[in-house]
Amino acid sequence: MTNSRAYALEATGIERRFALPQDKLFAPKRFLHAVDGIDVRVREGETLGVVGESGCGKSTLGRVLIGLDKADAGTIAWGGSPAAAHTGAVQAVFQDPSSALNPRRSVGDSIAEALPKLSQRARNDRVAELMGLVDLDEQLMHRYPHELSGGQQQRVCIARAIASDPTLILLDEAVSSLDASLQMQVIELLRELQERTGAAFIFISHDLRAVRGVSDWIAVMYLGQIVELAPADEFDDQLRHPYSVALRSAEPSIPGDPFVAERIILEGDPPSAVDLPVGCRFASRCPVAQKRCFEEAPPLESDDAGRAIRCHFPGSLQLTRRHEKESQQP
DSSP letters for 92-105? EE-S-HHHHS-TTS
At 322 the pLDDT is 52
At 253 the pLDDT is 67
| pLDDT above 80 for 89 | yes
Contact, 5 vs 43, CB < 8 A? yes
pLDDT tens, 191-226?
Answer: 888 998 899 999 999 888 889 888 999 999 999 999
Q: How far apart are the first and last CA of the chain?
A: 46
| pLDDT above 50 for 323 | no
Closest CA to 20 of 272, 216, 232: 272
pLDDT tens, 259-289?
Answer: 655 778 888 888 999 999 999 999 999 999 9
Amino acid at 179: D
Q: What is the mean pLDDT of the chain?
A: 87
At 82 the pLDDT is 61
Q: In the structure, what pLDDT confidence band is assigned to residue 1 with cuts at 50, 70 and 90?
A: very low
Phi, then psi, of 241 in degrees rounded to 5: -90, 135
Mode of pairing for the β-strands spanning 73-78 and 90-93? unpaired
DSSP letters for 10-21: EEEEEEEEEEPP
At 98 the pLDDT is 86
| pLDDT above 90 for 9 | yes
Residue 50: partners with Cβ closer than 8 Å, 6 or more residues away: 58, 61, 62, 202, 203, 204, 205, 211, 218, 219, 221
CA distance linking residue 298 with residue 312, whole number of Å? 6
Amino acid at 242: P
CA distance linking residue 330 with residue 321, whole number of Å? 17
Closest CA to 13 of 70, 75, 65, 81: 75
Contact, 233 vs 213, CB < 8 A? no
DSSP letters for 44-75: TT-EEEEE--TTSSHHHHHHHHTTSS--SEEE
Q: Averaged over 73-102, what is the pLDDT?
A: 80
CA distance linking residue 284 with residue 279, whole number of Å? 10
* Rounded (10°) CA dihedral 129, 97, 254, 328: 130
The CB density around residue 93, as the number of other CB atoms within 10 Å, is: 25
Closest CA to 207 of 69, 96, 95, 316: 95
Q: Averaged over 288-305, what is the pLDDT?
A: 94
CATH topology of domain 7-89+166-327: Rossmann fold (3.40.50)
**Inter-axis angle of helices 150-162 and 180-197, nearest 10:** 10
Half-sphere exposure of 288 (CA within 13 A, CB side): 15
Closest CA to 101 of 63, 164, 165, 147: 147
